[in-house]
Structure 1
Amino acid sequence: MKKIKVKDLLGQGHSLMNNIVMDTAGLLEEAYFVIKIDDLLKERGITQKDLAQMTGMRVGTVSEIINGKGISLNKVQLFAIMAALRVKSIDDLYEMKLPEGLEETFYTEQAEWKSTKEMPIAVKELYKENVLKASGLK
């Protein structure tokens, strides 16, 4: 399992990534992006080289994906890995670990949003702020 602080991912972000995306992802800077593919390989008794051969990807590409070094992962690569490892949920490969206080907030707001079908206040504020940024008014 490889844990990467979101703050560190933001520092590695693509230079062409727009500021709104970076700012929104930055709300999670204290969270961790957890890559679980290496654990799946160990569970299944295979190596990164085996996964590369199973998916048709370069060993270097597989290594970058597993170690969080690659800037992006396209959907075809994702599905190749899922097919090779026989997993059907992205949760088996990746996870976001939130700091305790933020996790509670997310669960509360998620439940509120599901039950009321109304955006939580914090999400409405984010939405409004990002619309203003996108239109150049902020």
Structure 2
Amino acid sequence: MKKIEVDTLIEGGHSMMNSVVIDTAKELSGAHFVVKLDELLKERGVTQKQLAEMTGMRVGTISEMVNGKGTTINKTQLFSIMAALKVTRLSDLYEVVLPEEMRKEYLMLKDEWVNERKMPLAVKEMYKKNVLKASGLSLD
């Protein structure tokens, strides 16, 4: 299992990514992107080379996925790996783990959003900030 800090992923992300996307992703600062593919291969007794042969993908691509390299995840490749390894949930391959306090806050906001059927104040504030930034305006 490989844990990669969200901040590290953002820093190494696509250079053409707009600042609103980056700033919104930074809301998850402290979270980790967890790559479980290496453990899954060990559990199944399958090498990266064998998985590449099973899926038609390059060994280098499998290696990048196992090591959490690259900036994008190709959904078709994920489906291919899921089919080859008979995986039923995406979370068996990858997972995002939030710090406990952030997880609790997000669950509370989600429940508020669902139960009251209106956007929580924290989300409204982020939305407003992002719309203003995207339009070239500022909050000041």
TM-score where L is the length of structure 1: 0.95
Structure 1 unaligned regions, length at least 5: none
Matched, 1:131 2:131: yes
1-side partners of 2:81 and 2:6: how far apart? 23
Instruction: Specify the alignment match of 1:39 in structure 2.
Output: 39
Question: What amino acid is the match of 1:84?
Answer: A
Identity of counterpart residues, as a percentage?
Answer: 59
Q: For 1:81-96, what aligned pairs fall within 5 Å after superposition?
A: 81-96=81-96
Alpha-carbon offset, residue 39 of structure 1? 1.3
1-side partners of 2:93 and 2:114: how far apart? 25
**1:24 match: secondary structure:** helix
Q: CA RMSD in A?
A: 1.1
Q: For 1:2-13, what aligned pairs fall within 5 Å after superposition?
A: 2-13=2-13
1-side partners of 2:44 and 2:50: how far apart? 11
Instruction: Specify the alignment match of 2:67 in structure 1.
Output: 67
Question: What amino acid is the match of 1:81?
Answer: I
Question: What amino acid is the match of 1:52?
Answer: A
Task: Name segments (4+ residues, structure 1) moved above 4 Å.
Answer: none
Instruction: Specify the alignment match of 2:53 in structure 1.
Output: 53
Matched, 1:108 2:124: no
CA contact (8 A) 1:6 1:30 kept: yes
CA contact (8 A) 1:30 1:98 kept: yes
CA contact (8 A) 1:61 1:70 kept: no
Aligned residues: 138
Task: List per-residue Cα deviations over 1:70-98 (Å, max 9, x = no partner).
Answer: 12121111111111111232111111111
Question: What amino acid is the match of 2:22?
Answer: M
